[in-house]
Structure 1
Amino acid sequence: MRNNESVYQFLEHLNGIQPLGLEAKNAIAGLCTTVRINKNKDLQSIGQTCKTIYFVKEGTARIYYYKDGKEVTEFFAFENDLIIRAESLFASMPSHKAIQAINDTIFIAIPAEQLFLLFDRFHDIERLFRKIVERSYVDTVNRLESLQFNSAVERYNLLLQHSPEVVRKIPLKYIASFLGITQVSLSRIRAATP
């Protein structure tokens, strides 16, 4: 489904990351569609190959997988955040992870293969997506380092600092899983946090 207003707002957001010429904006707009996913439903399921680049337009989403029979939340995405399963997209292989809408969520979807074809024609588009992927990579490294070097309390406080909306919008079981702690431990930390 196309929604011109949503796509226009999204393009303005992208233009803030990397200025885009009118022709480049029109080329991206021609690829964009909006996808609505209901609360707790998967946008992409485990076992699918990721062929689309998604951004959250409205709502909240997460990437999750199963380890030893337990569900693990790897990533949260909020408004204008990129959400892809990079290991699947770039290797063209099925993923062990899924993308799920935490609440009713609208995504902007861009078919990756068609987008990549634009890179040779529009270097501003190539630069834009390089910057987006670089930001995503740095965020991933920061998350891994936080799991390695910070205590559970420090990880929770960092999450509050960077994403206070998490506490209001996301079930505690997902937050606990994301932080690498139990829900009981999270409840104790929250009770002790002013």
Structure 2
Amino acid sequence: MSKHLQYNKADSKDVEYVLSILSRVYPVDIKLKKEFEQHLLRLRIKKDQILFNENEVCEYIYFIVKGALMGCTTHNKQKITTYISVENDFVSSISGLHGSGYSQEYVVAVEDTDLLAIHNNELNRLFAHHFDLNYIFRVILEKYYKDAQQRAHIIRVGNAKERYLYFAKTNPGYLDRLPLALVASLLNVKASTLLSIKKNFSKPKEQNKDLAECGQKLELYVNKHQLFRQKDIRLHSLAQRIGISSHELSVVLNNYFNKSFIDYINQYRVNWIKGSIQNRDIMQNFTLEALAYSAGFSSRSAFYSSFKKLVGMSPIEYSKTLNQEKL
């Protein structure tokens, strides 16, 4: 263990808190509660202080009450972040779990951190006498394993943007809280790349509000005038109609609707055709190609290509599916 760590007996409030976390998995009985009251410890470590080192036995399993820790290893003299844990996470040596061997990683505080701890000797004794504790920790380890597998997968196959979005989704608020270099190391991307992606996604609230207002205005205008049915509709002409510049319209389409101009217009066309296909009176008098031209498509190939891209099947397959549902 890192030197100068001061362990004190946890108070009743600490015990109640950690037991409330465990009880979310399975109820904790009175005997086990008394064991935690007797053996649970508390400590505080400062930012950048090491909790335990590589090549030493981690004697405790820890629970983070407040703060953040990171697990690290070294390869070719380079530090690699293997995980980040914050409030309500359990932390110990992964390679030397329950004191079974020497740790291949070290753990250091990212922030001033308050921890609860129980010695592995006591924990292993409790495992031998309390089935409920075995079950609780099995569930906790299963969740950790699934999270680690998902993280490993996205880091192996995802690009930098996908890794950023994964981390932002699974760790809300952490990108603003944790050092950028630390998150970049965890996601195996350059810090400069992560910063650039973060800037693109972290738009001011006022800008987001303006995008939403402009997007809603665009929706109302396109729906009211059915502009998508005009074969010659272009980005600049649509921008002029709603009173904004072509650049502003591109920003709204890309950042609010996450679509290109042509995909945005074709989505309207395809939705209009889908509604027409569901109307038997219309289908008795019009072919699919006639509907496509009426919706604004300039060619049969463009119609079929866009329909399959946006619906996942050809217009003929879609029509057959509707007919089968009506039988």
One-letter amino acid of the counterpart of residue 89, structure 1: L
| 1:134 aligned residue | 142
Q: Which residue, 10, 17, 31 being the options, matches 1:3?
A: 10
TM-score by length of 1: 0.93
Q: Which residue, 78, 82, 86 being the options, matches 1:78?
A: 86
One-letter amino acid of the counterpart of residue 186, structure 2: F
1-structure distance, mates of 2:200, 2:102: 42
2-structure distance, mates of 1:16, 1:106: 21
One-letter amino acid of the counterpart of residue 30, structure 1: Q
Identity of aligned residues (%): 25
Stretch of structure 1 that moved more, 89-98 or 65-74: 89-98
Count of aligned positions: 194
Alpha-carbon offset, residue 113 of structure 1: 2.2
Q: How does 1:7-86 map to 2 (within 5 A)?
A: 7-86=15-94
Query: Does the 8 Å CA contact 1:62/1:100 hold for their aligned counterparts?
Result: yes
| 1:116 aligned residue | 124
**Between structures 1 and 2, the one with greater helix share:** 2
Alpha-carbon offset, residue 8 of structure 1: 1.6
2-structure distance, mates of 1:45, 1:9: 28
Q: Which residue, 170, 173, 182 being the options, matches 2:178?
A: 170
Alpha-carbon offset, residue 171 of structure 1: 0.7
Query: Does the 8 Å CA contact 2:48/2:110 hold for their aligned counterparts?
Result: yes
Instruction: Return 5+ residue gaps in structure 1 as ranges.
Output: none
- Secondary structure of 1:178's match? helix
Query: Does the 8 Å CA contact 2:10/2:37 hold for their aligned counterparts?
Result: no
Is residue 2:161 matched to residue 1:153?
Answer: yes
2-structure distance, mates of 1:178, 1:33: 30
- Secondary structure of 2:97's match? helix
2-structure distance, mates of 1:101, 1:113: 24
Query: Does the 8 Å CA contact 1:55/1:81 hold for their aligned counterparts?
Result: yes
| 1:182 aligned residue | 190
**Between structures 1 and 2, the one with greater strand share:** 1
Alpha-carbon offset, residue 91 of structure 1: 7.1
TM-score by length of 2: 0.57
Query: Does the 8 Å CA contact 1:11/1:29 hold for their aligned counterparts?
Result: no
Q: Which has the higher contact order (CA 8 A, sep 6+)?
A: 1
| 1:97 aligned residue | 105
Alpha-carbon offset, residue 90 of structure 1: 5.2
2-structure distance, mates of 1:125, 1:34: 20
1-structure distance, mates of 2:37, 2:140: 17
Q: Which residue, 94, 115, 119 being the options, matches 1:107?
A: 115
- Secondary structure of 1:48's match? coil
- Secondary structure of 2:87's match? coil
Stretch of structure 1 that moved more, 28-37 or 72-81: 28-37
Greater C-alpha radius of gyration: 2
Query: Does the 8 Å CA contact 1:73/1:177 hold for their aligned counterparts?
Result: yes
Stretch of structure 1 that moved more, 28-37 or 54-63: 28-37
Query: Does the 8 Å CA contact 2:51/2:107 hold for their aligned counterparts?
Result: yes
1-structure distance, mates of 2:86, 2:125: 27
**Structure 1: 4+ residue segments shifted above 6 A:** none
- Secondary structure of 2:84's match? strand
1-structure distance, mates of 2:182, 2:47: 14
One-letter amino acid of the counterpart of residue 31, structure 1: H
Alpha-carbon offset, residue 155 of structure 1: 1.2
2-structure distance, mates of 1:125, 1:95: 24
